[in-house]
Structure 1
């Protein structure tokens, strides 16, 4: 059946490709070509609009000039038509065309419009952007922001981009990287660039799916993508230094100090950032390599987003972290080009946080067709966390034939956590079943070291290459946990006390090597041959000691102790085909993978668990752009996911005696199918944008959860007591898991109001199977979403954004189909900034509202978070700023979230930062020099032009 399905799939793709190829192989229309330069300096005009119109001014097609000012646009085959060249602040150039006229226009010089310049503000609407291949390019000048705004303020105005709870999403996907002029900026942390670069330093912004290094070196699509934003800086910023420093003190001894400084000297760039505060402000994303932050600041939709009312002063937003957090951080980023062949980027970043968090949790679990159970939990925790992150990247263009990329990374983390937890199980009649009171002290240390090396060799024959990719990583985690627990069975009125100490040590080594050979078949097509081998080795050693009441000493508990080794070896061989002709690009690969899962238990029992897996792994990508500028993308890929050593290790975790967990050494790998379809269009004549995205994922042998809820006091493995109403979970392979998401974005403008409007409707579906007390349950959830944003584009003195997003979620349980767990969450935001005297004085408001309906009792709320600030700017060029800031003026801020699993729905309420006032001073650092570099694009990989990927 699988072979038939794959054969049918490839036949369909081949027919589609043949149809498109036939269309592409038709004689292409002649091209109108030219180069646009500024009349005085003769500098190329980058991003000028070139539009073809009928004699009646109807749009035929359009394009923009590239980094060298050149353009090429298809001849429309009309008897007469006209070509218009526009650039804001310059006079419009119009050329009339008729049959027989030459199509090579040569160099066209345009001059500044003297009637618009001088002291008069230029009126007119800059083109929003365009699609270049599979990259959406936005003109920063088309989105006006307030004075001293940061990159985050600008990025949030782009069509299809949202920033919520500190997470950046572009075109419906989470952004994994933010580059600056094609180079990494403090590794892969998107938050650092957005919260440390000024908006007025940005020329344009690219949104793209960045391919893997090996894919970019060979030009072959391996199906590995990372949603990426590339910030292109202005030419005059590339030989200058700029930044800001700030300090503030407020009520309840709140404080915030920090700053950043950037030294740009052509290719050499040095950036230093730092901050210290006790008001939950962070200029980085959390990096929890130890996996110890679970439950603290978890996902879900919540109130208290805490966005800042504006720039200046503190340039870092208040993220959605739960609790009250004190943060200290320091970072250094260095980037340079050594000679003509080496691009280097390296960074070091340190952050330390202290967090006090209080959480209330309500969980409703479906046990059978007519039985449910409730769990209530309150937890107070203090957490201290320290991270050191070091990243580097070297791109070495050895010679015309050889290229090398090396990307090492080193991370260290230590974490200390003390928590006081109270949990209670109730039946559906709200009668108490069992409870627990825990005191836990947990100390964890660990590191992760990795390196990726990519090498490519070009043969003399064009298109013939061989490349190798080698990835290696080492990691270790050392944890010590002390637990004191008191537990009660209400039905039998029985008590027990638990005192124990657990040491857990785990380490791992992973390598993966991939070899790829490409051979040209024709000028438009290439065949590929690839082989990959990888091995993921890991080991876990857990020892638990319990206090023996009779002796008063700590004794090894073998039921809670285990030594376990895991090896997962994969080998993959494949054939591929690539076709590229003008606007059409097709990549097809079919791999065969053989994998072996080899587990060994060494203590307390000795055993071996061996399984092998054989899979066909197809991958298909297709990109097509028609002459009207509409881009279509299709991507289908498969992958396998092996279980982790923690999922395999057969040892019970009783850190919460009412919620036990244990591994499953018989677990196998899962097999994932994913599909992505996209249509994107920019209409430069009307400045409208339209995106459609469809994502689907389907898993076979999905690693789900097997849950057992004890109907009475039960001994697990005849040794560990699980109280009545308590539950134990273990991973299990299941079929039928899937999710799908449809996302649309439509952007337009209202010229009369100088406002841009963005509509973001969406629909998502999730299906998660699980096992509860031997019965299969499937939870389905459907999200229906509508979002709308009005963003001003008036001036730097008036800036407002009004947005609202409502999501209605339908939840269905197969065991209890009549159970009503549907809910609605609406998030609304108004940001308004006004300066009556060219930025000297200003006032800003940021008002958020979170509306919850259908959650647990007491959580259906309407929460308002109102932040307000007012200030005065002085010194030369308004470089000094003094302001008064009030956070959470109404003192309503809180955090509410809902999560849906296979058998349960969980609501969580957490404490967050509430009202405080602060006075702060900010000094803007800047020395902008006129650069010889134009504001041209610097694509990922440090090159100009192309499709968002360096093609060596």
Structure 2
């Protein structure tokens, strides 16, 4: 109503001023105005008798131009009742932009300012004293607002509550582009060289299709799998936790999420891609993929064969389809559990730029809904077979309290991983207020590895002190089952809910192999050899029951109760057998020194409560969990038993203030207990590397982590402008560190111990702004670590600092030109207290320049350049700099451009030398390895579609023809 009041006011004023030629009309209008004022005064007096007072109040301020930073004169300034928008008074600013409004009573008023050259300003003013000074009000030029508008479609970008929605057809893409190419066109969205997607400076953690997972919710997979032309809307929002979504009680948890809404016709057809590629010397990349939709029914399948890392579907990303185990789990209740695995999951079959890979991966998916969407069914199967052959050289420097020594090693490895994974999930809504969901998954994995290693160590003077030759073979298998049964109930009273969740898992891992090693210690003139058979088994069973109840106290305040019971049973046996020759036959002799057999049982009861306060702008919560945990560790080999009991208080607090829809700041604190894992507890001497032995410590105590996080984020969508800042800081009590002893022969024995005084923190910040058609972004990341350990009986304090600024420029012109430049220098510094005279510090500079351009006659050319400059730590280092240059040329055929012939050259200058550097304050390691280098690839690619996901219309695809 405020704008209407202002229009009426201006209308009346203009007409009154135009009555010079008609005296009678002037009297009539004057009578009308006096009547309105009299009536309004009486109505206000009747409705608000308490406001009738002889006391005067005033609202003062000054207007300024945001562009020229000059005062703004002759603007119309009005004050209206905030309750009913009735006009109280009005005035105009003087030539200096100042104004003063007289009102008769205290209270809340709508301050409305209008000027022909500026956008209308509206704000609520609380007048509670004689003079309410609003200070300087910055007025936004209408011309400047028009300059910042992206004119693509009147409905190209829509804000719906906390969701930003892009109309996909308003942003031009090439025929048969995948979703990742569409995302590059959207203001505020960026895709890094590592494939990670960011929205307004925050990493996108989930990507769904019509609100559901599609093979995976991993953004890198979904964006490379679906066709851009099949997308109707791209919705970007901060997803609340499942519990918050169900209960309606916002717990402050947020995950940056993108949902892809399919076009209706895309749900009734199919589309896919087939590629056949071969190259020199001996490279290949082949793939086939199909996605079919029929209403709510979805069917998809894919298959890939490749020995490159440039496959169009990205087979290294597809490895995420195949599952695989993590090494830890972190519960919402504030506990951190480490698990024990005996198979070779550190490699996991994934290609990370090391060695020469081969991969055969595939999968199938089926999703559907029945009974008016009350019964939901999702299923998928994934298969992968991956091989990797690697060669590497490592040079290491060990910095000890009184000396230094250097180690050089050469190694070769061959790894094969075969995995099968199946998942079935179904959810049934019993009624509109309750549901039951069952999630089952299982898998079988087999891994084989062969590793050979030759190493030698020298003292600071170059004298040889030891050498070692090792060969190890391993054949492992792993079976796993997981189950999750979830019941949810929402009561009539808004905010009152109950959930019960039971999860369980069973894992069985088995490994068999051999270890052969021969090493010499020259200072004592001794030689040793190892010839052993290894047999490891591990069975792990877990179960967890979680009960949660939420109760609204008021419309803004909610109470939550939770109880968890956790059970963890672990049976791990690591057996070593020496092979001795007896009468011409080899017999196994059990070696207890390098063997162990442990049973570990963990039982935990955890309960707590929390309060959550929610308004439109503020979300705050505080809570505490109390946990009692009992550990029983039974040493079956030496018939001893250890008992541990921990009582923990786990507080948590969070605060989020949303100044506006696109600006927010948040703070979070969590207390977390970190339990030692079985590898750290069990006193197993692992002689896989006989010169570097790690032993367990059954006397380890739990660690406790105090974690603090602060985040700030603001963005302007239309101008693609955003700014973000984040910081974290952690203090750890009883941190699990290590105690290392290195003798004069270069042999190292490391044991886990508890220490205090460890902390670490970091910051990340950045921003972006679009200048005309060019998007410029800049930022900086920094980390600092302070940790304690022991070296040769002496306490040691390590301090490590690293920071990486970055600057990027991006330009897109429809579908004809893509340009992307990024400059990212980095600095590292490490110091230790035992050797303050030695400081490790170095710079590195990384730059990338990529562009793709459409040429006449349906050709498209691409160039990708990467320059890595690394500072040497000593003159003896090899040249670690490299310049990578990849080129591509494509020619499109058929009317809809669905057929593509592509020539691609990887590493044109043959400089892709595998290199990495790792350093702490007392250890520096440089590693070179074989990797994919120069090759040429020729491919034929066919994109097929029917009905859904068809190629863009001709007028939406820009072509350059002569």
Q: Quick check: 1:670 aligned with 2:670?
A: no
Note if contact 2:438-2:483 (Cα within 8 Å) is conserved in structure 1: yes
Q: How does 1:691-770 map to 2 (within 5 A)?
A: 691-711=724-744, 724-751=745-772, 754-770=773-789
| 1:577-607 deviation digits (Å, cap 9, x = unpaired) | 111112222222111111122111010x111
- Corresponding residue of 2:458: 426
Q: How does 1:323-362 map to 2 (within 5 A)?
A: 323-339=355-371, 340-362=373-395
Residue 506 to residue 219, structure 1, CA distance change in 2 (3 Å):
farther
Q: Structure 2: how far apart are the matches of 1:927 and 1:755?
A: 36
- Corresponding residue of 2:869: 851
- Corresponding residue of 1:378: 410
Q: CA deviation at 1:783?
A: 1.6
Q: Quick check: 1:391 aligned with 2:423?
A: yes
Note if contact 1:785-1:805 (Cα within 8 Å) is conserved in structure 2: yes
Q: CA deviation at 1:525?
A: 1.0
- Corresponding residue of 1:274: 303
Q: Structure 2: how far apart are the matches of 1:562 and 1:437?
A: 25
| 1:171-223 deviation digits (Å, cap 9, x = unpaired) | 88876543333212224555422332234444555566655544443345668
Q: Structure 2: how far apart are the matches of 1:698 and 1:97?
A: 47
- Corresponding residue of 1:714: none
Q: CA deviation at 1:528?
A: 1.5
Q: Quick check: 1:914 aligned with 2:933?
A: yes
Match of 2:579 among 519, 543, 547: 547
Paired residue secondary structure (1:238): helix
TM-score between both structures, scaled by the size of structure 2:
0.77
- Corresponding residue of 1:437: 469
Q: Structure 2: how far apart are the matches of 1:686 and 1:188?
A: 29
Q: CA deviation at 1:780?
A: 2.1
Note if contact 1:237-1:928 (Cα within 8 Å) is conserved in structure 2: yes
Note if contact 1:146-1:798 (Cα within 8 Å) is conserved in structure 2: no
Q: Which runs of 5+ in 1 are unaligned?
A: 1-28, 33-53, 60-73, 85-93, 101-120, 299-317, 712-723, 932-952
Residue 95 to residue 745, structure 1, CA distance change in 2 (3 Å):
closer
Q: How does 1:473-484 map to 2 (within 5 A)?
A: 473-484=505-516
Paired residue secondary structure (1:77): strand
Paired residue secondary structure (1:192): helix
Match of 1:636 among 662, 666, 669: 669
Paired residue secondary structure (1:749): strand
- Corresponding residue of 2:437: 405
Note if contact 2:541-2:569 (Cα within 8 Å) is conserved in structure 1: yes
Q: Structure 2: how far apart are the matches of 1:740 and 1:128?
A: 38
- Corresponding residue of 1:24: none
Match of 2:653 among 592, 617, 620: 620
Residue 648 to residue 127, structure 1, CA distance change in 2 (3 Å):
farther
| 1:10-40 deviation digits (Å, cap 9, x = unpaired) | xxxxxxxxxxxxxxxxxxx9999xxxxxxxx
Q: CA deviation at 1:367?
A: 2.4
Note if contact 2:880-2:915 (Cα within 8 Å) is conserved in structure 1: no
Q: CA deviation at 1:170?
A: 7.0
- Corresponding residue of 2:561: 529
Residue 595 to residue 396, structure 1, CA distance change in 2 (3 Å):
same
Worse-superposed segment, 471-480 or 763-772: 763-772
Note if contact 1:160-1:691 (Cα within 8 Å) is conserved in structure 2: no
Paired residue secondary structure (1:646): helix
Q: Quick check: 1:791 aligned with 2:819?
A: no
| 1:324-367 deviation digits (Å, cap 9, x = unpaired) | 00110111122222232233322211111111011222232332
Q: CA deviation at 1:926?
A: 2.0
Paired residue secondary structure (2:400): strand
Residue 902 to residue 638, structure 1, CA distance change in 2 (3 Å):
farther
Q: Which runs of 5+ in 2 are unaligned?
A: 5-62, 69-83, 86-108, 125-149, 326-340, 951-962
Note if contact 2:601-2:631 (Cα within 8 Å) is conserved in structure 1: yes
- Corresponding residue of 2:796: 777
Note if contact 1:159-1:758 (Cα within 8 Å) is conserved in structure 2: no
- Corresponding residue of 1:563: 597
- Corresponding residue of 1:576: 610
Q: Structure 1: how far apart are the matches of 2:395 and 2:115?
A: 67
Q: Structure 2: how far apart are the matches of 1:99 and 1:502?
A: 75
- Corresponding residue of 1:179: 208
| 1:676-722 deviation digits (Å, cap 9, x = unpaired) | 222111224533111212233332222222222123xxxxxxxxxxx
Q: Structure 2: how far apart are the matches of 1:30 and 1:447?
A: 68
Q: Quick check: 1:245 aligned with 2:266?
A: no
- Corresponding residue of 1:469: 501
- Corresponding residue of 1:489: 521
Q: Structure 2: how far apart are the matches of 1:81 and 1:474?
A: 69
Residue 160 to residue 469, structure 1, CA distance change in 2 (3 Å):
same
Q: Structure 1: how far apart are the matches of 2:473 and 2:400?
A: 32
Q: CA deviation at 1:891?
A: 0.7
| 1:535-571 deviation digits (Å, cap 9, x = unpaired) | 2111101111112356653211111111101112221
Q: Structure 2: how far apart are the matches of 1:168 and 1:377?
A: 38
Q: Structure 1: how far apart are the matches of 2:733 and 2:252?
A: 20
TM-score between both structures, scaled by the size of structure 1:
0.78
Note if contact 1:131-1:629 (Cα within 8 Å) is conserved in structure 2: no
Match of 2:225 among 196, 199, 214: 196
Q: Structure 2: how far apart are the matches of 1:803 and 1:203?
A: 31
Residue 678 to residue 125, structure 1, CA distance change in 2 (3 Å):
farther
Structure number with greater Rg is 2
Match of 2:530 among 498, 502, 517: 498
Q: Structure 2: how far apart are the matches of 1:471 and 1:924?
A: 42
Q: CA deviation at 1:497?
A: 1.7
- Corresponding residue of 2:631: 597
Q: CA deviation at 1:122?
A: 6.8
Q: How does 1:194-343 map to 2 (within 5 A)?
A: 194-202=223-231, 205=234, 210=239, 212-220=241-249, 228-234=257-263, 236-280=265-309, 281=311, 282=315, 283-285=317-319, 287-289=323-325, 292-293=343-344, 320-339=352-371, 340-343=373-376
Note if contact 1:171-1:693 (Cα within 8 Å) is conserved in structure 2: no
Note if contact 1:705-1:902 (Cα within 8 Å) is conserved in structure 2: no
Residue 380 to residue 583, structure 1, CA distance change in 2 (3 Å):
same
Q: Structure 2: how far apart are the matches of 1:911 and 1:464?
A: 59
Note if contact 1:125-1:142 (Cα within 8 Å) is conserved in structure 2: no
RMSD, aligned CA: 3.5
Note if contact 2:466-2:520 (Cα within 8 Å) is conserved in structure 1: yes
- Corresponding residue of 1:687: 720
Tell me how many residue pairs correspond in the alignment: 802
- Corresponding residue of 1:11: none
Worse-superposed segment, 453-462 or 174-183: 174-183
